[in-house]
Amino acid sequence: MDQPSGRSFMQVLCEKYSPENFPYRRGPGMGVHVPATPQGSPMKDRLNLPSVLVLNSCGITCAGDEKEIAAFCAHVSELDLSDNKLEDWHEVSKIVSNVPQLEFLNLSSNPLNLSVLERTCAGSFSGVRKLVLNNSKASWETVHMILQELPEYHELITKYGKLEPLAEVDLRPQSSAKVEVHFNDQVEEMSIRLDQTVAELKKQLKTLVQLPTSNMLLYYFDHEAPFGPEEMKYSSRALHSFGIRDGDKIYVESKTK
């Protein structure tokens, strides 16, 4: 099968997380993983990958080299691929099948209505606990097939020791969320629109924190995730791509502390 034209997941990963562009990640729980790579790999000693990868709005159309994905992404647990150009479920399954620890996958705003997931590829999603498909127009046939591939009830008991939801497939476009905004010693609960960008959120917070937007650093903390805060560093990134939910937290810091 010919590779689709466009940028591959592996190509974008190499560009974004190379030491030149992404030397390290600050904040608790944000350790850098530099994996051992196959001998002769063109990316050996080049990629510094956190366990949470954000590759939204990068023009990704295909997976790329599966051996490279497996070598670099064995520890990755969350993957944001929203607002890309993925239209082939077979390419998505190539990515997912080579990220064995993946629990959260955001495929929002990809044109996934243009193909149907084949049953032979559906098993790749068996470990995913939350799959976000907002505005992807994925067919119910595909969604049903993914849900069918989840572990049976007795396997859940054996593996996890207690009954928990097998997976959450989110198809509803959540428009807002109630979050806690932390600044210095202040905590303010407020409702934020998820269709706005990071830059627009800074404008909304300007009066509350009494800081110019150019002097703000924002960090997002998912209250249910075992990871530390994620810096909201890209001004044009949409808030919905962070997976923000009610009860999450936004930390505001001044650049000139």
Distance (Å, rounded) from C-alpha 54 to C-alpha 240?
Answer: 13
> Three-state DSSP class for 181?
strand
Mean pLDDT over 39-48 rounds to 47
Residue 254 CA from chain centroid, whole number: 26
Non-local (6+) Cβ contacts of 37 within 8 A are 43, 44, 45, 71, 72
Each residue's pLDDT tens digit, 153-196: 633 333 334 434 445 555 555 678 899 999 988 899 999 988 88
| Angle, vertex CA 63, rays to CA 10 and CA 5, nearest 5 | 100
Q: How many H helices and E strands in the chain? A: 7, 12
Query: In angstroms, how far is the first alpha carbon of the chain from the final one?
Result: 54
CA distance 125 to 208: 42
In three-state secondary structure terms, 10 is helix
Tell me the mean pLDDT in the region 209-216. 90
User: CA 197 to CA 177: how far, in whole Å?
Assistant: 14
Average pLDDT value for residue range 8-13? 93
Whole-prediction pTM: 0.57
Spell out the residues 6+ positions from residue 120 whose beta carbon is closer than 8 angstroms to its own. Answer: none
Output the CA torsion sign for 211, 213, 216, 220. positive
Alpha carbon distances (Å) from 210 to 56, 134, 187, 197, 220: 30, 34, 14, 20, 19
- Per-residue pLDDT, 90: 94
Indicate the average pLDDT of the chain. Answer: 78
The percent of residues above 70 in pLDDT, for the chain, comes to 74
DSSP state at residue 242: G
Report the candidate in 62, 105, 110, 63 with the shortest Cα–Cα distance to residue 85.
110
Coil, strand or helix at 45? coil
Q: What is the mean pLDDT of residues 219-231?
A: 76
- Residue 105 structure tokens: 């996958």
